[in-house]
Amino acid sequence: MRRGALRSLLDQCVQECGSNSRRAHRLAADRIDGLLAPRGDKPPLMESSDFSVRGVFEETVGPITTWAEAPVNELAEAITSSAFPEITNRIFHRAVIPAYELEVGPLSELVTEDQATKTQSEEVAGYTPMDGDLEMRAETMPYMETEFGEKKIRVYTGDFGRKISLTREAIFDDRTGQLLTRARGIGEVAGMHRARMIVQSIEMLPRTSFGEAATRAFVYKGTTITQANFYRADHSAVAGLDSQVNANTITDPPDTVGFTNVLDFASKMTNENGDEINVNPRDIMVPAKLWPATWRMTASPDQPDTTNRAWNFFGPSGKKPFNDPYTSPFLSTDYYWYVGNFKRQLLWLWVWKPATATLGANSELAFNNQIVAQFRFNYYGGVGHMDYRYIIRGGSA
C-alpha cells in the first residue's frame, strides 16, 4: 500500500463515524480486510505481504522518529489506543487462515459441523429408529402414532491456540516477513492439529490433542467404546451397544475383492431395531503405501488387479460407487484403510471457529520483554462418532 493511503482511509472512516475512534478503527480494518479477501475464483486485490508493520505503525500511531526514544510502556499504550491492533489483526488473519485451511485439506469435508452449546464436552441428542414401518391408513381412520427412542452421544471439545508477540524491535526493524512467516507457521500447525484429531478419531485411537490415555471418540449412552469393540465382525455382544451383528471390518486390501466386500457388508447393516439401512459408502481414505493401487482401482476402466482385464465395476466404465481415494500422513499404519459415509457418522462441534485476535501489551509485559502487542490464533472444537455403522475398516496387520 502506498505511503499515506492508510492514513487517508483512517481519516475518512473517522469522518464517517462521527469521531467515534473505536468504530472508525474497525471500519478501516473491515475495508482493509475486503482488499485482502479472495474474490470468488479471483485472487485478492492485495496480499498480507503488501503491508509493512512499520508502515502501518507510522500511519496509525506516528512517525518512528517520534517514538524511537519513548518509554516502551508509553509505546504499548499508544499502540493499544490506535487502529494498529485492528488493522494488523486482519493482516495476520489473512496470513494464518489460508495456511490452516490448506493443511486441514479434504478432511474437513468428512465431518458434519454443528455449533456446541457447552464447553469441554457435550451430550448430543440423537434418535433411535421408530418402531416398525409405515402403516397403511384405512379410510376415516387416523394415522398410527409412533415414538422415537432417544440416544445420547458425548463429544469432547477443547480450546487450542498459539500466540505471537510483537516486539519494539520488530516494528522499528520492520520484520514484516518474519512475522508473516511465523503467522503462516501457526496456521499450518493448527491445520495439521485438526486433521490429526479427525484421523485419530476415525482410527479410534487416543487423541493426542486431548492427551487421552484411551480414546473417547465414541461415547454411546454413557459407555466409552474401545477400538477393539468399534471395528468388529460382530457387535451383538458389545456391552452398551444395540445387540446387532453389523460387521464393519474386513481383512482385504482395497482391491476388487475388498471393494466388493465393503458393498456387501454395507448392504447388510441394520439399525437398532434390526431393520436394513442405506449406508451408501462413498469416501475412501488409505495410507500412502496403498494410495497408488487404490487410485487405479477407482480410475481404471479395466480391473487392474485381474489378468483378464474385465470391465471395472469400480472405475469409470462401471458404476464407480466410490470417490477417488485420498491419503493422510496421520494414519498410524500402512495397512488399515477406511471407506464409508464419514459425514453421516462424524460430528464436529464448534464452540468457536478458528479466529485471530490482537491485543496491546500491558505495562509489565512491555517493560520486562519489550513486547508491545500480541497476536493470537485459536479454535475451540472437537469431533466424535455418532454411530459405528457408516465407516468400514479394511486391511490386516
pLDDT in tens, 212-262: 999 999 999 999 999 999 999 999 999 999 999 999 999 999 999 999 999
Cβ contacts of 341 within 8 Å, gap of 6 or more: 279, 280, 281, 282, 283, 390, 391
In a domain, 269, yes or no: yes
Q: Are residues 335 and 374 in the same domain?
A: no
In a domain, 279, yes or no: yes
Domain membership of residue 215 as a residue range: 207-347+384-394
In a domain, 128, yes or no: no
Model confidence over 310-364: pLDDT tens digits? 899 999 999 999 999 999 999 999 999 999 999 999 999 999 999 999 887 887 8
Nearest to 382 by CA among 157, 192, 113, 198: 157
* Span 89-116, average pLDDT: 96
Helix runs in 218-337, H state only: 227-230, 256-267, 291-299
Q: Are residues 252 and 336 in the same domain?
A: yes
Q: Are residues 304 and 371 in the same domain?
A: no
Model confidence over 295-318: pLDDT tens digits? 999 999 999 988 777 899 999 999
Q: Are residues 71 and 23 in the same domain?
A: yes
- pLDDT averaged over every residue in the chain: 92
Q: Are residues 225 and 320 in the same domain?
A: yes
**CA–CA dist 349, 379 (Å, integer):** 11
The single residue listed with the C-alpha cell 482410527 is 203
Let me know: does 285 contact 326? Beta carbons within 8 Å: yes
When pLDDT is cut at 50, 70 and 90, the band that residue 144 belongs to is low
- Residue type for 139, please? E
Helix (H/G/I), strand (E/B), else coil: 335: coil
Q: What share of the chain in percent tops pLDDT 90?
A: 82
- pTM (2 d.p.): 0.92
**Residue 385, H or E segment:** strand 371-385
Q: Are residues 323 and 213 in the same domain?
A: yes
pLDDT at 131 over 70: no
Model confidence over 21-76: pLDDT tens digits? 999 999 999 999 999 999 888 999 999 999 999 999 999 999 999 998 899 989 99
Q: Are residues 336 and 360 in the same domain?
A: no
Number of domains in the chain: 2
